[in-house]
Amino acid sequence: MLATLCLVGLSFPTLWAQMLISCSYKNLCQKALLSGNDVVLRCDHGHTQWHFTSILGDELFLFNSVPNIETLPGGSLKLVNPQPSQTGLYRCQKNDNTRIVEYEIDFQDVKNLHITHTGLDQKPLPNETLNLGGMVLVFTQWDPWQDCNRCGVPGERKRLGYCYVEEPPEEPLACGLYLREEEMLHSRLRPELQLEACLVPCEHDKEIHQPFFIFDTYQLGKSTSNMWITCPLASIYR
């Protein structure tokens, strides 16, 4: 089968394509995200150092040559294609070791995503009580529904859900941050994606001011049974 390969021919500012995570000054913010999707951890300070410790309890170490992690000019930290193994504590601090902000991030494995569609009468994962060193409630914490992907005609919208554990009287905690070094072997310990049909009117003024893309199109010179195409500005978060 002759395949057509599309490559982006126009670039945009880096932060526009990323999921931006913010936290108040000198606070610790805990967040569940999906692996494989780029994010930026915000730290608005020009002269910063980023340190990291994994959920295994390792000592904090300074980021300097991790291939998929980059400190941006403004001080924020960009993670490209983050992996579940990069779940842990990210600390932004000044050169004198004064803490600016900390993020404890659980990168839940996108390969284990449980996908359902309301129009197909598919159900999301139910809440479940499990013995994880003690009886706890495992549930999905849902993000708001994202925008409909089309206007004026039937389309679809999606929302993301993350695995959380509740053990009263403590506040709920993302599964990876709760389990730490323990493996997530139970099938309930996974993130979710839910889809549903939508129909919304077009807002022409809004559409006119949206960024646009120019694609160059190339044809492969030989037949191929499979291939991998990456869209540089794609993100599951929008």
Q: What are phi and psi of 182, to 5 degrees?
A: -75, 140
pLDDT of residue 204: 73
Mean pLDDT of 206-230: 56
Q: What percent of the chain has pLDDT over 70?
A: 79
pLDDT of residue 211: 53
Q: What is the pTM of this model?
A: 0.81
pLDDT of residue 15: 43
Mean pLDDT of 75-86: 93
Of 137, 120, 119, 116, the C-alpha closest to 128 is 137
Q: What are phi and psi of 46, to 5 degrees?
A: -65, -30
> Where residue 13 falls among pLDDT bands split at 50, 70, 90?
very low
Domains with residue ranges and CATH for the chain: 4-108 (2.60.40.10), 113-198 (no CATH)
Q: What is the DSSP letter of 24?
A: -
Q: Tell which phi-psi region holds residue 67, choosing left (phi > 0), alpha (psi between -120 and 50) or beta.
A: alpha
